[in-house]
């Protein structure tokens, strides 16, 4: 039985098991008789074990109290961030509660505080690594990474910025909600919408701080999108992310947000849409690596002008999956 004194130990043990399994998320799923605990590993949700409702309430309240959530609020969703140190390793946890019929559900995203990975460790095809390295040598403009939640957009952003900082001592400012990894070479700004530090407010302040590179964690609305493109006009290189199904869909999202055709043509350097696929490495062990739909230079300008996907000349996700299968990286061409 978990009590208030052993909740910390239970949480540490749960994190130990989750991280040793390379889990990216922990889900607490209440049903009528117990609370089921699932891990998301390599994109797949896997059952771990279950605990009693009373045990779960103690664990949930411990998380809510430690992260600054309102323990008494059980009828509205809440979000928070929490840092935990376990055996000299720091973890940033993103917490989300959701009221359901039985009680509140809890989802935890695990963000290990490790150095940014090399681009070669994140991207499956080496020629796409080289393509990205060429793209990010530009001095001004907007580079967007797109894809669904959990596709590795922010992880790849950190790796790109780290690669640039190895080459030159750029003044780099990031605006994030939350800050997923603490990086020594970046000036990292925590976005706090409730406290008045919005992406728009943070961008205005960051531009007065003489940056060479700006990283905006996510373009969420028209105001932020317009300011990102304005920053590119003033001679800054801006990296950001956006939720979109594929590279072509990113252009449609930006147009829906009110970004003008001329701004896209003059300032958008590249769009790289990500998908993570399971691949073999090191004696048939599995991990996930990114494949990229990339629009840049001539093919990007041509698509902005025509918005006709049938005329696009670029490798699609389906083509990249077939190539990964042909090279023996994957078990199937339709992963």
Instruction: Assess whether 105 and 127 both reside in one domain.
Output: no
Is the same domain home to 56 and 151? Answer: no
153 in any annotated domain: yes
Together in a domain, 175 and 303: yes
CATH number for position 50:
3.30.450.90
**Per the structure, how many domains does the chain have?**
2
Note whether 88 and 219 are same-domain residues: no
One domain for residues 63 and 99: yes
Q: Report yes or no on 335 lying in a domain.
A: no
Alpha-carbon dihedral sign for residues 167, 226, 295, 41 = positive
Residue 274, domain member (yes or no)? yes
Co-location of 285 and 221 in the same domain: yes
Strands (E), the chain: 23-30, 35-41, 44-51, 78-86, 89-99, 104-112, 141-146, 172-176, 187-190, 213-216, 237-242, 268-281, 285-296
As given in the structure block, the two tokens for residue 296 are 């840049």
Please write the tens of the pLDDT for every residue from 25-35. Answer: 999 999 988 99
Same domain, 55 and 19: yes
Pair 80, 136 in one domain:
no
Instruction: Please give the share of the chain, as a percent, with pLDDT higher than 70.
Output: 95
Residue after which a domain boundary falls, among 44, 78, 112: 112
Which parts of the chain sit beneath pLDDT 70? 1-5, 86-87, 112-116, 281-285
> 3-state class of 107 per DSSP?
strand
Of 42, 77, 112, the residue at which a domain comes to its end is 112
DSSP β-ladder status, 141-146 and 268-281 = parallel
Residue 334 lies in a domain: no
Residue 160 in contact with residue 116, Cβ under 8 Å? Answer: no
Whether residue 287 is found in the same domain as residue 181: yes
Q: Is residue 58 part of a domain?
A: yes
Instruction: Tell me, yes or no, whether 217 and 97 share the same domain.
Output: no
Residue 261 in any domain: the answer is yes
Residues 198 and 306 in one domain: yes
Which CATH number goes with the domain that contains 180?
Answer: 3.40.50.300
- Give the β-pairing of 104-112 and 23-30: antiparallel
Distance of CA 181 to the CA centre of its chain: 11
For residue 285, being part of any structural domain is answered with yes
Q: Please tell me the pTM assigned to this model.
A: 0.81
Please say which residue of 94, 112, 130 terminates a domain. 112
Per the domain annotation, does 232 fall within a domain?
yes
Are 140 and 106 part of one and the same domain? no
Alpha-carbon distance 213 to 207, whole Å? 10
Which domain does 232 fall in, by range?
A: 119-326
């Amino acid at each position: 039985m978990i009590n208030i004194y052993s909740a910390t130990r239970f949480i540490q043990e749960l994190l130990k098991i989750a991280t040793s399994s390379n889990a990216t998320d922990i889900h607490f799923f209440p049903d009528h008789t117990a609370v089921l605990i699932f891990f998301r590993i390599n994109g797949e949700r896997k059952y771990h074990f279950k605990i009693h409702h009373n045990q779960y309430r103690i664990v949930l309240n411990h998380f809510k109290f430690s992260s600054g959530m309102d323990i008494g609020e059980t009828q509205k969703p809440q979000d928070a961030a929490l840092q935990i140190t376990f055996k000299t390793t720091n973890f940033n946890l993103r917490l989300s509660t959701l009221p359901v019929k039985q009680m509140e559900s809890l989802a935890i995203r695990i963000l290990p505080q490790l150095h940014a990975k090399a681009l070669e460790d994140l991207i499956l095809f080496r020629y796409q690594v080289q393509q990205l390295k060429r793209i990010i040598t530009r001095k001004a403009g907007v580079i967007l990474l797109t894809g669904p939640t959990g596709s590795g957009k922010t992880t790849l952003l950190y790796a790109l910025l780290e690669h640039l900082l190895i080459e030159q001592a750029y003044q780099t400012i990031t605006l994030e909600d939350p800050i997923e990894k603490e990086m020594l070479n970046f000036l990292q700004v925590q976005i706090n919408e409730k406290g008045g530090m919005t992406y728009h407010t943070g961008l205005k302040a960051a531009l007065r701080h003489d940056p060479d590179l700006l990283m905006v964690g996510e373009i969420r609305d028209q105001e932020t999108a317009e300011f990102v493109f304005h920053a590119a006009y003033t001679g800054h290189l801006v990296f950001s992310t956006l939720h979109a199904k594929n590279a072509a869909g990113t252009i449609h999202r930006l147009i829906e947000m009110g970004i003008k055709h001329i701004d896209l043509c003059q300032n958008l350097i590249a769009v790289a849409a990500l998908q993570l696929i399971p691949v073999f490495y090191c004696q048939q062990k599995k991990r996930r690596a990114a494949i990229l739909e990339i629009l840049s230079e001539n093919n990007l300008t041509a698509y902005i002008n025509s918005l006709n996907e049938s005329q696009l000349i670029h490798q699609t996700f389906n083509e990249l999956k077939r190539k990964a299968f042909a090279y023996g990286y994957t078990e199937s061409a339709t992963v």
